[in-house]
Chain A
Amino acid sequence: MPFARWIPQGRATNLTFFIIRRILWMIPVLFFVIVITFFLMHLAPGSPWDREGKQLSPEVIKNLNIKYGLNKPLWEQFYLYIWGIIHFDFGDSLRSPGQHVSDRILVSWPYTFTLGAVTFVLLVPIGIGLGVIAALRQNTLVDYIALGVATFSASTPNFVLGIFLIIVLALGLNSLTGGTFYLNTGGMSSPWNPFQPELIMPVITLGALPTAYIARLTRTSTLDTLRQDFVRTAWAKGLKARLVVLRHVLKNSLIPVVTALGPTFAFLVTGSFVVETVFSIPGIGRTFVTSIAARDYTMILGTTILFAVMIAIVNLIVDVLYVFIDPRVRLTG
C-alpha cells in the first residue's frame, strides 16, 4: 500500500486502511446484489398482478403498470430504483397498496430483532460451553452425548424441529403447559419483550443448528489448543486447572470461533424465514417469504438489500474483531 510520508506507520494505520477498504468494498457488493435481484425479478415469468382464480382485467393491469412505473423500459426502471435507494426511498409495496416498503419493514423488524437477539445471546455461551466441556472430557460419555446432540440438531431441519416441539410441548403436554408456550393464534404477544414464554420454542428452533455448529468448532479448536506446548508448560509449572483452562486454553481456542459469528448471523437470517413461518411470527423473514410467493418485486428487493447490508456489516465487524483479538493476523485483502 502506498503510504504518504506524513501518515504514521504502524498497526493502527494499517487497521484504519483495512476498515476503509472493506467499507468501500461493500459498495460494489451491494450494487451487485441489487443488479442480480432487480433483473432476476423483472425478467422472471409472471407478474405481481397474477391472481389465483379470477384475473384482473387488462385495463386494470395496464393502469397498475403505469402507476408503479412498470411500463417504462427496464433500464429506466433500474435507474429510477437506484436513484430512489440513494435517497432511502424503497418504493411502494406492490401487493399492499399505499404502503411503503420501508414502513412494512419497520413494522416487522422488532419481532425478528427480538427473536434473533435472544437466540444469539443464548446460543453463543451455550455453544462454547458445550464445546469446551466436550473437549476437556474428550472420548468420555459427556463428549459423546454433546457430539451426538450436535450431529442430530445439525441434521434435523429447523421446521421439523419446530413442529415437533409444538407437538410435544403444546399438544402432548398440553395439560401441564396449557397454552403457555404457544399462542393458538401464533406469533408473539409483544414485539419487543424478550422474556415472553412464546419465544421459548422459536428460540430453541432457531438456535439449535448454530449452537451445534459453534459447539463442534469450539471442541475442535480447544482440542488443538490443549495439545500446544504452552499448555503443557502451564500444567507442568503446577498452575491450577481453572487457570490453565481459562487463561491459556480458552483465550486461544476462542479465536477461530470468532470467525464463526459471521455464518452464525447468516444462519439466524435464513432461519428466521422458516421459524417465523412455523410460529406465525410477523417478522421480516415471514414478510420476505410471503413477498416471494406474491411476487411483490419492491418488497423482495427492499428486504434483500436490507439482509445484504446487515450481513456485510456483521462480516466487517467480525473481521475487525478478529484483527483485534489475534495479533498474528496480517492485514490484507
Chain B
Amino acid sequence: MATAIGVAQQVDWDVPEQTGLWKDAWVRFRRNRLAVAGLVFVTVMIVVAIGARLPTTPGGLWHILHLTASPFEQDVTNSYALPSLQHPLGTDILGRDQLARIFYGASISLTIGIVVQFLILFIGGAIGMAAGYFGGWVDNLLMRFTDIMYAFPDLLLVLVFVAAFGPSFWSIFIALGLVYWVGLARLVRGQVLSIKEKEFVEAAIMTGTAPMKLILKHLLPNSLGPIIVTLTFGIPAAIFTEAALSFLGIGIRPPEPSWGVMIEDGYAGIFADPRQVIFPGIAVALTMLSFTFVGDGLRDALDPRMKR
C-alpha cells in the first residue's frame, strides 16, 4: 500500500516539474542572442568536423563531395597561393589547402574540447561525490589533494603530464582529464553537501534508499545545472590548452593539422605570408568565444533564481 502511494506521488510530481525546468531553461536560453549565435556556430563547426573525419579516407566527406581539397595533399609548386575558388583560404608552404586543414583541425579541437569533458565529469564527479557524500576523513583527504592541485596553474600541470606521456593526441586527452577535474570536484562536493540537508533527501534516506540509488536518483539530477555550466566553460579552456601545447611543439605533431600546429607552422613563415596564422587564429578564437557565449547563456538559463 505504502509503495503504491509512493509511486503514484512520484508520477504526479516529478514529470511535469522536470519538463518544466528544461523547457523554461530553453526559453530563457533562446532570449540570449549571443548564446544562440554561439550555439549555431558551434553546431556548424561540429558538422564540419564530423564531415572532415567521417569516411576514414584522407580528406573525409568534404573532399569526397569536392567541396574542399585534401588536407594532406601537397603541391609544392603552388605554395603560399592566394585565396581562389579552388583554395578558398589559399595554401600553405607545402601547397596544402588551408580550408581543408582548418576543417580537419576543427575535428581535433572539438574532440579534445568536448569529449574530455566526459572524462572530467567522471573523475571530478566521482571525487566530489565521494568527498561530499562520505564526509569525515575521506572528505578531508580528497579536499586537501584537490587544494594542492588547485594551487597550481593548469597549463603547468598539463605540460608536466604531457612531458611524461610523450606528445600525442591521447596523452593530451588524458593530461587534460587529470588536470581539469579539480573545479568540478569542488562544485559537486558543495552541491552534494547542500542537497544532503534538503528534506527530500532526508526522506529518501529514511525510507531506506540505497546509497548508490540516492546518488544517481537524487543528488546527481539536482546538481545537473551547475555541472553542465562548468563543463561548458571547460570546453574553451581545453581547446585553448590543446592549441597552446601544439603551438609550443609539445602537443599534436605534424602532419596532423591541429589549429595549434597550423599556427606554429604559419608563425615560422610569418614574414612570407601572415595569412597562414590569421585563418587558424580566427578559427580558435571564434570557437572559444562561441563556447563562452553558450556557457554564459546556459548559466543564466539554468539558474532561475538569478534575475536579469
Q: Is the interface of B mostly helix, strand, loop or mixed?
A: helix
Contact with A along B235-269 (1 / 0, CB 8 A): 01000100110011110000000000001000100
Is the pair A44, B166 in contact by a Cβ cutoff of 8 Å?
A: yes
Complex partner residue of B153 from A36, A156, A270, CB under 8 angstroms: A270
Render B275-300 as a binary contact track against A, CB cut-off 8 A, 1 for contact. Answer: 00110010011001100100000000
**CB-nearest residue of chain B relative to A166?**
B270
Quote the shortest CB–CB distance from B238 to chain A (angstroms): 12
Q: Which residues of A contact B250 (CB under 8 A)?
A: 289, 292-293
- Produce 1/0 per residue, A265-277, CB < 8 A to B: 0110110011001
B263 cross-chain contacts in A, Cβ below 8 A: 159-160, 163
Known contacts: A155-B288, A157-B244. The answer to whether A46 contacts B277 by CB under 8 A is no
Interface size on B, residues (CB 8 A): 36
- A311 with B153: CB separation less than 8 A: yes
Minimum CB–CB distance from B119 to chain A (whole Å) comes to 18
Main secondary structure of the interface of A (DSSP, over half): helix
Q: Tally A residues with Cβ within 8 Å of B.
A: 45
In the complex, which residues of chain B have a beta carbon less than 8 angstroms from the beta carbon of A32?
148
Q: How long is the Cα–Cα vector from A169 to B85 in the complex, in angstroms?
A: 30
Q: Does B133 contact A (CB under 8 A)?
A: no
A90, CB-defined interface residue at 8 Å: no
Instruction: Chain A residues near B236: list those with CB within 8 A.
Output: 155
User: B277 near A163 (CB under 8 angstroms)?
Assistant: yes
Residue of B nearest to A296 (CB): B163
Enumerate chain B residues within 8 angstroms of A41, measured Cβ to Cβ.
163-164
Query: Do A311 and B277 contact each other (CB < 8 Å), given the known contacts A151-B289, A292-B163?
Result: no
Which 4 A-B pairs give the minimum distances between C-beta atoms? A40-B164, A270-B155, A160-B281, A155-B289
Chain B residues engaging chain A, CB cutoff 8 angstroms: 148, 151-156, 159-166, 236, 240, 243-244, 247-250, 263, 267, 270-271, 274, 277-278, 281, 284-285, 288-289, 292
Instruction: Identify the A interface with B (CB < 8 A).
Output: 29, 32-33, 36-37, 40-41, 43-46, 151-152, 154-160, 163-164, 166-167, 171, 266-267, 269-270, 273-274, 277-278, 288-289, 292-293, 295, 300, 304, 307-308, 311-312, 315
